[in-house]
Amino acid sequence: MAYSEKVIDHYENPRNVGAFGRDEAGVGTGMVGAPACGDVMKLQIKVDESGVITDARFKTYGCGSAIASSSLVTEWVKGKTLDQAMTIRNTEIAEELALPPVKIHCSILAEDAIKAAVEDYRHRLSASDQTA
């Protein structure tokens, strides 16, 4: 597979690999994809009280462009509000990384991972509001 320099850079020097505790306050976790399809992404965001994403972590099982797509979005979501993060589109990810057509699904998965992480954070927040 002929990859762009950006994909190779993110693959060889992935940003923000790791994990936050799922139950940690202010953390939202999104896991998308399936092992049978060859890609699973886990994206975690840490959100402060004003609703700004202050930090992000990922772990990905998948090809080079899946790893690069998830690494890129951990950089992009930092400093954004939840609503701003929700506007990140797969087309922007694919364009930034110059993904080959056969790998566009990796960028779709990365967009889905952001949405899943934000939804998980909001869900957990409203659940803790109700119990408080």
Asked whether position 11 contacts other proteins by CB under 8 A, the answer is yes
Residue that has been written with the tokens 């975690």 in this structure: 44
Distance CA 29, CA 47 (A): 11
Q: Does residue 97 contact residue 14 with C-beta atoms inside 8 Å?
A: no
Please name every residue paired with 29 in a beta bridge, in sequence order, or none if there are none: 44
The angle, 0 to 180 degrees and rounded to 10, between the axes of the packed helices 104-131 and 90-97 is 130
User: CB-wise, 48 or 105, nearer to other proteins?
Assistant: 105
Say which DSSP state 81 is in.
B
- DSSP H or E segment with residue 119: helix 104-131
Asked whether position 39 contacts other proteins by CB under 8 A, the answer is yes
Among residues 73, 77, 109, 110, which is the contact residue for other proteins, using CB under 8 A? 109
**Annotation says 63 is catalytic:** no
Q: What are phi and psi of 93, to 5 degrees?
A: -65, -45
CB of 33 to other proteins, least distance (A): 6
User: CB-wise, 44 or 53, nearer to other proteins?
Assistant: 44
Asked whether position 38 contacts other proteins by CB under 8 A, the answer is yes
The contact mask relative to other proteins for 58-77 (x = CB under 8 A, - = no) is: xxxxxxx-xx----------
The catalytic residues are 37, 106
Which residues of the shown chain bind other proteins in the complex (CB under 8 A)? Answer: 1, 8, 11, 14, 17, 19, 31-42, 58-64, 66-67, 102, 105, 108-109, 112
